[in-house]
Amino acid sequence: MTHRVPVHAITHVHTEASSGRNSDMDTMIGSAILEVLGPYTRVRWHECFTPVSRLRRLLDGGDPHRSVGLITVTDHANAAHHRLAEATLRAAAAEPRLAACAEVACVEQDVDGEYRAAPEVLVYGGAEPVDGPFGPHYGLSQELLDEIFASCRAPGRPQVQTTRVLRWCAERRLACALAHPFDGHALSLAATLDVISRARFVETVNGGFPAAGSRFLEDLIAFHNRVVAGWRTSATAALRYPTARRLADRIISERRPSLHPWGGSDAHSHDFTRVTMRFLADGPRPTAGDLFRTMVERPVDDLVRDGTFGICGRPGSGFSGLDDIVRIVLRNVWWNRGNFPGPLILAKVIHRTVAIVRDELERRATRQAELLRAVERECDLGRILPDLVRRVDTKQAVLSEPRASARG
């Protein structure tokens, strides 16, 4: 048997290129600053100040027990702005262990027919390098990113659709994962479950979002994979939880494959390794292409069974979220220090900025609480999983549950 080497990969992280039009938060806060300071102010808000050079220095540095061997830079990309940063393309061309990727903002059709903000997709890339302005690199080219936003639009809308992006990646054999799919969107529970079940890799542990969503996603993957393996909902559970029954029926009728749990730090300011993926690579210095090849070419069942990937780290918390906010606000104050008319105006801007960020986080927390209440009513997997009935279908996969969960 080939000896495999554990390598830690940062699979969800942001740089300064996630600021400006790439960021919905920047747009909201920027509008508020203009209200306070007027249209001619030189004050500009930034969601992230991390240069890609700082991430590159993490490779093979720091704690030897969690030294970073791979980094996928996943800056925000949306219909309004989706340009790969020149600095990231240059760094990726110089370092094959760093890839230029994207976190693509999406919408999805809900059960009522309306399109709403939906889980984002971390689009990584393929096994082979792509051409770029500074030489070949792993990840996405600008042409590929442009094609996503040209080919995957939701009908009649400028935004791309989550399920179309997932299908587009599968057709082109590009690695991808759903980003924190239980947080930060507006879909109903039924539509959310359906979107998640169409992915291959699902970010169950995100360093910026709380553990409640992680626990549910781990249960959901266990449910999905057991249904794939031949387990069925009992008559009692099917009657009590029709949402779960309908999901199971779609998994079976459409022969959807198994799901793999995934993790990412989602770091915007610091603590980049708070959540990493431990990758059992075939050699000590794998490239980003080796990671993507493994994600695309190997069946999920095999990856789970032999532990090729494991999540290292824990979800975010209220304290870690507050810490991120404070750091970003203080960094913005320092960055714009010469552009404020005086201390009173500065205090007003800080107050307004913190209020916007707090309101947005509270909105997301309220939305997640609504989803969790819907889970309890419509799809209580904690009750459903023990009641699944074993009905083996030899045509189905043999995997029964994922072998990965959040750990320190």
The string of DSSP codes covering 345-382 is: HHHHHHHHHHHHHHHHHHHHHHHHHHHHHHHHHH--HH
Question: Do residues 338 and 41 lie in contact, with contact meaning Cβ atoms separated by under 8 Å?
Answer: no
Distance between CA atoms of 268 and 75, rounded to whole angstroms?
A: 10
Residues in the chain with pLDDT < 50? Answer: 1, 393-408
Q: Which residues lie below 8 Å from residue 151, measured CB to CB, with a gap of 6+?
A: 164, 168
Residue 397's nearest CA partner among 258, 297, 304 is: 258
Residue 9 lies in a domain: yes
Strands 231-232 and 98-109, by their bridges, are: unpaired
Distance between CA atoms of 203 and 209, rounded to whole angstroms?
A: 11
Dihedral in degrees, nearest 10, Cα atoms 307, 310, 279, 266: 160
Question: Do residues 290 and 181 lie in contact, with contact meaning Cβ atoms separated by under 8 Å?
Answer: no
Distance between CA atoms of 246 and 191, rounded to whole angstroms?
A: 11
Residue 399 lies in a domain: no
Distances (CA, A) of 199 to 11, 192, 208, 308, 310: 16, 12, 21, 18, 18
pTM value is 0.90
Distance between CA atoms of 374 and 242, rounded to whole angstroms?
A: 12
Residue 84 lies in a domain: yes
Give the burial class of 390: count Cβ atoms within 10 A of its Cβ; 0-12 exposed, 13-18 middle, 19 or more buried. exposed
**Total structural domains within the chain:** 1
SS3 state at 45: coil
User: Both tokens of residue 54?
Assistant: 């700082």
Give the H/E segment covering residue 100: strand 98-109
Residue 129's nearest CA partner among 98, 151, 103 is: 98
Distances (CA, A) of 25 to 5, 95, 235, 316, 373: 39, 31, 46, 19, 27
Residue 408 lies in a domain: no
Question: Do residues 76 and 105 lie in contact, with contact meaning Cβ atoms separated by under 8 Å?
Answer: yes
Distance between CA atoms of 103 and 14, rounded to whole angstroms?
A: 9
Residue 158 lies in a domain: yes
Residue 125 lies in a domain: yes
CA 218 to chain centre: 15
Residue 138's nearest CA partner among 86, 89, 74 is: 89
Distance between CA atoms of 221 and 203, rounded to whole angstroms?
A: 11
Question: Do residues 71 and 59 lie in contact, with contact meaning Cβ atoms separated by under 8 Å?
Answer: yes
Give the burial class of 206: count Cβ atoms within 10 A of its Cβ; 0-12 exposed, 13-18 middle, 19 or more buried. buried
Domain residue limits at 376:
5-390
SS3 state at 133: strand
Residue 400 lies in a domain: no
Nearest 5°: the CA angle 179, 369, 19 is: 40
Residue 405 lies in a domain: no
Distance between CA atoms of 113 and 311, rounded to whole angstroms?
A: 35
In Å, the largest CA–CA distance within the chain is 73
